[in-house]
Amino acid sequence: MKNFLTSMLGALAALVIFTFGAALLFIGFVGVIAAVGNKEKTEAVEKGSYLVFDLEANITDAPPIVDFSMLTGGRVETLQLRTATRALRAAAKDDRIAGVLLKGALSPAGYGSGFAALRDVREALLAFKASGKPVKAYLTFAQTKDYYLASVADEIILDPYGEILMPGLASEPMFLAGTFEKYGIGIQVTRVGKYKSAVEPYTRKDMSPESREQVQKLLDDIWGTIRGDIAASRHLAPENVQAVVDAEGLIRPSAAKAAGLIDRVAYRDEVIDELKAKTGRRGSRESFKQIALQSYARGVTGSHSNRGFSLGHHNTIAVIYAEGAIVDGEGEMNNVGGDKFSRELRRLRQDNNVKAIVLRVNSPGGSVSASETIQREVRLTQKVKPVVVSMGTYAASGGYWISTYSDRIFAEPSTVTGSIGVFGIQFDVKKLANDFGVTFDSVTTGKFAGALTIARPKTDEELAVLQRMVDWVYEQFTTKVAEGRKLKLDFVREIAEGRVWSGSEAKKLGLVDEIGDLDAAIKYAAERAKVGNDYRLEEYPRKKELAEALAEAIEKMNPGAGASAKTLVGRISARLGEELNALGTFNDPQGLYARLPLELQLH
């Protein structure tokens, strides 16, 4: 009994100590999060300062819900697109800002830092440059996306031991069919659209001719836009840009200068000394007068540029972000849950202070049922107030499904859109299970009672039932597009077939109304709502729950987090993880999907 009491008291004491310590840790995290969330104090801007735009971030359409920069030593890992463009446009009119310095290299992740978003940033840089203030870029190892932004600069400086990694665009899908065969996982698909290649990674070991055709055309269109923009900024002919890309691929400083891609070669300290002289600090131990773009953005205010999480202004334009794969139910942090997103749309529709909604889409699509749930709310909303769509890097398949009934669709030339097609995918693990001695048996009450089982392959009759459902959904999809876009159904069927189109091609086909950025869509929404300049801009989704923010805070404080992504094994693991994560978003209750062909990555 004595030993029992001693053990019990010891355990109780340990529990008290643990609980007390956990409480202190929790309070500490709450304090940090509160400090981060309430960090409204902005840095003073000295007259003659340079706005430093450090590209070392992932530029996303949707705003980061929690700013973790205090937990990462001030380093910004996620930068919202509108934060960057708003700051640049404000700086152009700010007499305290003498110029802009671009440095670093982007860290693309997920659906961030796509070419459509980068073009928006590029336009804001051009607007800054048009104000008469200089834009400088200092590059070390710049990839295509980094150089695409930097090409705007009046002066591009490359490190003597740096290079421009710009070999052209490539898309390299990963195929898992061989792995499934090896481990005995069966795949059966139903689909409509000869270009609907989203199932190919699971059924083939290479690209189909149709998939190769559409991806080649898409890459050619996007590369043509990128190359043309670069050539215009550098006062070169597009064919001259292509010539150096094909000759060098990885372009060293001497070749870059000879081709006119950069202006000069210099070390970082030389550039800093020059900027110190320009900003009145020659010979000083301090660096040049500067303010980071993120810090400057916190001080940028205005009735059309506020990010808020509560409505109340009598004229509100709401920007709601659909960024990530569309999934059934509530969804996770990095995807678009049909139920959750439609609920937010419904709330905005019912709020009389909201005069118009801008739906920013950056999604490859996903669940058919979730896409229809969202589209239903879009259609209901459109009956009472304007709904304008702004397409980001991706607005394909399900992403196009939720867009088609809007009052107007804006896209960038490099937006990946279209992909009007449907597929179903069925797995079976019979062989895999049998190899481990696991067997299945069943009792049913109907001919098709076990049609969706994973214990065996589907029969021909079962597949025919599933194919009929896919055909019906495809018919619904094309009909909706024809009705929403006011196009002839036969024409929609001709350009559909699951094929992806660039924004510029989609404009020619009538799938897109206008080439323009998010700001253009907001301006149009305000005009349709007849609110003039008297409106407040609000952005959604809202803040995350505290528990979610704390979980991310702990992850961010781990100094080793993300380090493996730079190793060869880390890159392979990350890519495989992306493919398996895509499978994880296949949660449509009917197993039907309107999804972008392949995991289309352009690099």
pLDDT reported for residue 261: 98
271 plus 338 within the same structural domain = no
Closest-CA residue to 414 (of 542, 557, 515, 546): 515
In sign, the C-alpha dihedral spanning 106, 48, 307, 535 is negative
Q: Is residue 397 annotated as a catalytic residue, yes or no?
A: yes
pLDDT reported for residue 77: 82
355 plus 437 within the same structural domain = yes
pLDDT reported for residue 15: 46
Average pLDDT over residues 351-363: 97
DSSP secondary structure, 311-339, as one string: ---SSEEEEEEEES-EESSS--TTSEEHH
Q: Name the band, by pLDDT with cuts 50, 70 and 90, for residue 554.
A: low
The residue from 240, 269, 298 where one domain ends is 298
- Domain contains 162: yes
Tell whether the model's pLDDT for residue 42 goes beyond 70.
no
93 plus 127 within the same structural domain = yes
80 plus 142 within the same structural domain = yes
Average pLDDT over residues 556-585: 52
pLDDT in tens, 284-336: 999 999 999 999 998 885 445 444 334 456 899 999 999 999 999 999 888 99
Average pLDDT over residues 142-166: 98
CA distances from 9 to 3, 12, 20, 367 (A): 10, 5, 16, 54
Of the chain, the percentage scoring pLDDT greater than 90 comes to 71
Burial track 419-438 (b if 16+ CB lie within 10 A, e otherwise): bbbbbbbbebbbebbeeeee
Q: Give CA–CA dist 157/147, Å, rounded.
A: 11
pLDDT reported for residue 290: 97
Q: Give CA–CA dist 201/425, Å, rounded.
A: 12
Burial track 112-151 (b if 16+ CB lie within 10 A, e otherwise): bbbbbbbbbbbbbbeebbeeebebbbbbeebbbbbbbbbb
Active-site residue, selected from the candidate residues 211, 363, 397, 414: 397
Tell whether the model's pLDDT for residue 408 goes beyond 80.
yes
pLDDT in tens, 44-57: 899 999 999 999 99
267 plus 365 within the same structural domain = no
Provide the CB-side half-sphere exposure for 513 (13 A, CA).
18
Question: What distance lies between CA 261 and its chain's CA centroid?
Answer: 28
pLDDT reported for residue 96: 97
- Domain contains 156: yes
Residue with the larger pLDDT of the pair 562 and 189: 189
507 plus 559 within the same structural domain = yes
- Domain contains 306: no
Average pLDDT over residues 256-268: 98
Q: Is residue 93 annotated as a catalytic residue, yes or no?
A: no
Average pLDDT over residues 72-79: 64
281 plus 405 within the same structural domain = no
SS (H, E, C) 235-274: CCCHHHHHHHHHHHCEECHHHHHHCCCCCEECCHHHHHHH
CATH of the domain at 118: 3.90.226.10
Of the chain, the percentage scoring pLDDT greater than 70 comes to 80
- Domain contains 3: no
| Residue 89, number of CB atoms within 10 A of its CB | 19
Tell whether the model's pLDDT for residue 396 goes beyond 90.
yes
pLDDT reported for residue 573: 58
pLDDT reported for residue 210: 95
- Domain contains 391: yes
Closest-CA residue to 522 (of 86, 149, 90): 86
- Is the distance from CB of 51 to CB of 293 less than 8 angstroms? yes
pLDDT in tens, 461-491: 999 999 999 999 999 999 999 999 999 999 9
Tell whether the model's pLDDT for residue 563 goes beyond 70.
no
Q: Name the band, by pLDDT with cuts 50, 70 and 90, for residue 118.
A: very high
Q: What is the mean pLDDT of the chain?
A: 86
Q: Which domain holds residue 527?
A: 316-441+448-595
378 plus 515 within the same structural domain = yes
> How many structural domains is the chain composed of?
2
Among 240-244, 395-399, 563-567, 599-603, which is the least confidently predicted range? 563-567
286 plus 341 within the same structural domain = no
Task: Count each helix (H run) and each strand (E run) in the chain, helices first.
Answer: 21, 23
pLDDT reported for residue 551: 60
Q: Give CA–CA dist 321/366, Å, rounded.
A: 16
261 plus 336 within the same structural domain = no
Q: Which residue shows structure tokens 């993120």?
A: 294
- Is the distance from CB of 265 to CB of 160 less than 8 angstroms? yes
Give 7's contacts (C-beta < 8 A, 6+ positions apart). Answer: none
pLDDT in tens, 506-516: 999 999 999 99
Q: Which residue shows structure tokens 């079962």?
A: 462
Average pLDDT over residues 435-451: 90
AA letter at 46: E
Average pLDDT over residues 101-108: 96
434 plus 347 within the same structural domain = yes
Burial class (CB in 10 A: 0-12, 13-18, 19+), 79: buried
pLDDT reported for residue 470: 95
- Domain contains 526: yes
- pTM as predicted: 0.83
Active-site residue, selected from the candidate residues 103, 133, 196, 289: 196
pLDDT reported for residue 183: 92
Residue with the larger pLDDT of the pair 6 and 413: 413
Tell whether the model's pLDDT for residue 38 goes beyond 90.
no
> Virtual CA dihedral for 312, 317, 323, 326, nearest 10 degrees?
80
Tell whether the model's pLDDT for residue 8 goes beyond 70.
no
CA distances from 41 to 32, 35, 38, 82 (A): 15, 11, 9, 20
pLDDT reported for residue 422: 95
Torsional class of 45: left (φ above 0), alpha (ψ -120 to 50), beta (otherwise): beta
- Is the distance from CB of 359 to CB of 389 less than 8 angstroms? yes
For β-strands 422-428 and 186-192, DSSP reports them as antiparallel
Closest-CA residue to 110 (of 581, 592, 596): 581
- Is the distance from CB of 357 to CB of 522 less than 8 angstroms? no
Q: Which residue shows structure tokens 């609000």?
A: 538
Q: Give CA–CA dist 498/489, Å, rounded.
A: 15
SS (H, E, C) 526-585: HHHHCCCCCCEEEEECCCCCHHHHHHHHHHHCCCCCCHHHHCHHHHHHHHHHHHHHHHHC
SS (H, E, C) 171-210: CCCCCCHHHHHHHCCEEEEEEECCCCCCCHHHHCCCCCHH
Closest-CA residue to 291 (of 300, 303, 283): 300
- Domain contains 65: yes
pLDDT in tens, 157-192: 999 999 999 999 999 999 999 999 999 999 999 999
- Lookup: tokens for 101: 């310095």
284 plus 329 within the same structural domain = no
- Domain contains 10: no
